[in-house]
Amino acid sequence: MEKHSYKIHTLACVALFTAGNAAIMQPFYGKSNFLAVFLLTALFSASFALLSVAVVNLAFKESDSRFRKILRYIIAAAAVLAAIYGAFSTVFDYVTFLGKAQLPQMHTALIALATLGFIVVFIKISHTAILKYCLFMAALSVAVVVLLFGVSVKLFDFAALTLDASLSGSDCALSFKCFLKYFSPILAAVLFVTLANGKTKTVNIWGGLGVGFLILLITAVQSVLILGNSGGYEFSYLYAVSVFSSGNLFSRLDGFVYFLFFATVTVKIAVCAKLLPLIIRRLVYAKHF
Amino acid sequence: MKKTAIISILISLISLCGCAGYREIQRGYFVTAIGFTKQSNDFGIVLETLSPSDTEPSGEKSNIISGSGKTLDAAYGEVNQSLTKSLYFEHCGAIVVSRDFTESEMSEIFDFCTNLYTLNIDAYVAQTDDVTALFESKTADESVGYSIIGLIKNAGNNTFSNQLYQIKRRDAQTVLPTVSVQNNTLVLE
């Protein structure tokens, strides 16, 4: 039976997982040296991803060694915690966004219920279906981000973009806090793709991480160039896109932003939700776990 | 069969787009302009709204709704308390502020407008001496708000750079265009 290669799916999965709820909350917007903070956060995340891949591959290599077995359980426990945290924080941020901006007249309980429904669906479908979903959504998401950036160029105020490379102690602490809040669950994504594909290559994870951070960079830069960098917008990217209009036909392109947020959030939730049954199945059924 | 099902679902998803943001027009007031006044130490909010006319089947009527309070939130709360219908800001394209606000009060007003999520931040901002008198004046358009937008757009998009998001991204005090009523005609300076 032909074994499918899911390299590009892995890249897409990690890309949207990385963008996740950070695309909604735009943690780098509103700081004068946001580029420096962004790069430092990306560095923390890349280092953590490298460590995660090395440890996960070491733990899940086919072997009966006692050390590997103990390591597998430790990594599985850490990944489950990361997945639970990742899923809950993403759901919380997304429900907040829906309640305030996209669906303000719908009761929060209904929104939460619908989100719960998604989680149940993602737990039940196969991991290959999730990978294919990731690829489909990632292609469209990147196209949306590039399109929205391109059409908004005429609105840019380049004077608002200051290249401040200074980093104070508090900026470093802020970068680390951003990494912990939004990007530490990458361990869950690494374990997910490892269990789905058998082994994970660092280049695929870093590629996905790079695309994810590129999405965040484009959205943050667009927000700054249109809205300035003084802050004051809770969902800055949504506001930045809502300003664009061209004639009477093309205005309020908020729908594209809603799609982007839906894509990044559902991928992050799907991976976090699917990880737990995947680990349990391997614990119960796999010969060498 | 599976491909047919997926394609059918995708096509039906596209047709659902029209349901988003659905509003019954009888159930709310469509705000066409929002104004801010200073009353002693209080903030005043004045809304020009359009709603379906009770007398003309396809007509609309303009209403002026106002409220005041120690803070902008208090003033807005007083406005909402006096209403039985919802306020819809999606059609609000004009923000008019009274001339006697300080720079910090103006900043507070702009932040308040930004936090009205359904008010688009590309709304035009202008100033005037008497907001209530301006909103109550009779213009060719049913709505003074739409008339103000027309005046500003006719002057050229880049003449004033006075859309809300443009004002917020500039740290310095912005010179706003002034709208006044002269011989029942709106004049932009």
Domain count, chain A: 1
> Among residues 73-112 of chain A, which lie with CB inside 8 Å of chain B?
100-101, 104
Q: Per the domain annotation, does B1 fall within a domain?
A: no
| Structure confidence by residue, pLDDT tens digits, A75-131 | 999 999 999 999 999 999 999 998 888 887 777 788 788 888 878 888 888 888 899
CA distance A220 to A224: 6
Q: Which residue has the higher pLDDT, A285 or A66?
A: A66
Confidence category of residue B23, pLDDT binned at 50, 70, 90: low
pLDDT at position A141: 95
Is residue A1 domain-resident?
A: no
Query: Do the Cβ atoms of B168 and A101 come within 8 Å?
Result: no
Q: How far is CA A139 from the centre of its chain?
A: 14
Does residue B104 form part of some domain?
Answer: yes
How many angstroms separate the CA atoms of A217 and A18, rounded? 12
- Output the pTM of the full model: 0.86
- Name, in order, each residue with C-beta under 8 angstroms of B13's C-beta and a sequence gap of 6 or more: none
- Quick one: pLDDT band at residue A31, thresholds 50, 70, 90? confident
The region that residue B156 occupies, defined by phi over 0 for left and psi between -120 and 50 for alpha, beta otherwise, is left
Res A175: pLDDT: 93
Tracing tokens 């943690």 back to the chain, one arrives at A27
Q: Is B57 or A115 the better-scoring residue by pLDDT?
A: A115
CATH number at residue A104: 1.20.1740.10
Token pair for A58: 């070491």
Scanning B156-185 for CB atoms below 8 A from A yields 163, 165-166, 168-171
Domain range for B67 is 22-188
pLDDT at A285 over 80: no
CB contact under 8 Å between B114 and A233, yes or no, is: yes
Q: Does A125 touch chain B (CB under 8 A)?
A: no
Q: Please tell me the predicted confidence (pLDDT) of residue A84.
A: 94
**Distance from CA of residue A280 to its chain's centroid?**
24
Supply the pLDDT for residue A1: 44
- C-alpha A150/C-alpha A146 separation (Å) is 6
Question: Is B12 part of a structural domain of the chain?
Answer: no
| A234: containing domain | 7-285
For residue B109, being part of any structural domain is answered with yes
The answer to whether position A101 is within a domain reads yes
What pLDDT does residue A24 have? 94
Which of B117, B121, B171 lies closest to A230 in CB terms? B171
Residue A48 lies in a domain: yes
User: What is the total count of domains within chain B?
Assistant: 1
DSSP state of A228: -
Q: Residue A232: its chain B contacts at CB < 8 A?
A: 111, 114, 168
**CA-based nearest residue to B123, from B137, B133, B113:** B113
Contact state of A104 with B118 under an 8 Å Cβ cutoff: yes
Interface of B with A in 118-157 (CB under 8 A): 118, 120-122
The answer to the question of residue B6 being in a domain is no
B2 assigned to some structural domain: no
Interface check A233 vs B, CB under 8 A? yes
Domain-located, residue A196: yes
- B95 assigned to some structural domain: yes
Q: Which residue of B has its CA nearest to A243?
A: B122
Residue B97 lies in a domain: yes
Quote the DSSP letter at residue B110. Answer: H
pLDDT tens for residues B126-142? 999 999 989 988 776 67
ipTM of the complex: 0.78
Quick check: A32 contacting B, CB < 8 Å?
A: no
